[in-house]
Amino acid sequence: MELLANPAWHALTGPQAHLAEDHGPAVRFQPALSVFGALPDESTAETWSALGELVGPGGVAVLMREDLAPGEGWTERFGGIGVQMAWSGTAPQRRIGTESVPTGFGVGRLGGDDVAEMVALVARTEPGPFTDRIIELGTYLGVRDASDGALVAMAGQRLRPPGAVEISAVCTDEAFRGRGLARLLVDLLIEEITAAGDLPILHAAASNTGAIRLYESMGFEIRREVRFAALEAPGHAEDLAEDQAG
């Protein structure tokens, strides 16, 4: 299997191993950082069992990869089909630099003091899973409305499989869409990622045709179809409590 067909596994066992928890062959991010877990390229009954022990009976693991078939006894809470896109090295009409920021807005890096506003923006725009400590995974950039300082758009970095960096959490408040804010943030992240010698990648829901068209206009190409799912481990939480009591 190609490395990027299972990006979370290769990130959590590679450049982001210091942010992972593991049990045998199963890994996941520390829960405060991200919801994603992963299994080796070749998953077996044993690897699924290890993941179940890692999350605990009734626990949930969120996986994303090219081929995803839940192990025996696992229950899918929700899931969907997405596309993985990789930057091709060309970006028509790129807008690089803070001098390209539309009048009335400001761009800057986001940090711990911005988390509450980031969480609120995510709640309004629903770009995908987000945690209070996700900014520890990489650079996050935000656009603020100069009139009141409100955070109205952001984008950041999440998975880091060897040689690549995933751009994630791209979102813009509905009242500020159509002004090129998301495009500007993604362009700035592309510049940072490529300057470090890495390949920018991203994932989008296959049904989000508007976002896919935007990314294609920026030089991204669809690499593959991926499946993502939140899977509940066999057993129930009370089983674990009984085992511990015994």
Residue 239 confidence class, pLDDT cut points 50, 70, 90:
low
164 backbone dihedrals φ, ψ, rounded to 5°: -145, 155
* CB neighbour list of residue 108: distance below 8 Å, 6 or more residues apart: 141, 142, 144
Do 85-197 and 3-83+227-245 fall under one CATH topology?
yes
Average per-residue pLDDT in the chain?
91
What percent of the chain is modeled with pLDDT above 90? 85
Count of C-beta atoms within a 10 Å radius of residue 147: 8
Average pLDDT over residues 25-45: 96
Which strand (E) or helix (H) includes residue 155? strand 151-157
Residues 45-85 pLDDT 10s: 999 999 999 999 999 999 999 999 999 999 999 999 999 99
CATH superfamily of 3-83+227-245: Gcn5-related N-acetyltransferase (GNAT) (3.40.630.30)
Average pLDDT over residues 104-108: 94
CA distances from residue 20 to 32, 34, 240 in whole angstroms, order as listed = 11, 10, 22
Structural fold of domain 85-197 = Aminopeptidase (3.40.630)
Domain ranges of the chain: 3-83+227-245, 85-197
238 pLDDT higher than 80: no
- CA dist 107 and 191 (Å) reads 15
pTM of the model: 0.90
Average pLDDT over residues 2-27: 97
17 pLDDT higher than 70: yes
* Measured distance between the N- and C-terminal CA atoms of the chain, rounded to whole angstroms: 42
Which pLDDT value is given to residue 241?
46
Residues 162-200 pLDDT 10s: 999 999 999 999 999 999 999 999 999 999 999 999 999
- CA dist 230 and 65 (Å) reads 12
Determine the angle formed by the axes of helices 181-195 and 209-217, rounding to 10 degrees.
50
- In the chain, what's the furthest Cα-to-Cα distance? 65
Closest by CA to 31, choosing from 169, 130, 177, is 130
* CB neighbour list of residue 122: distance below 8 Å, 6 or more residues apart: 130, 169, 171
246 pLDDT higher than 60: no
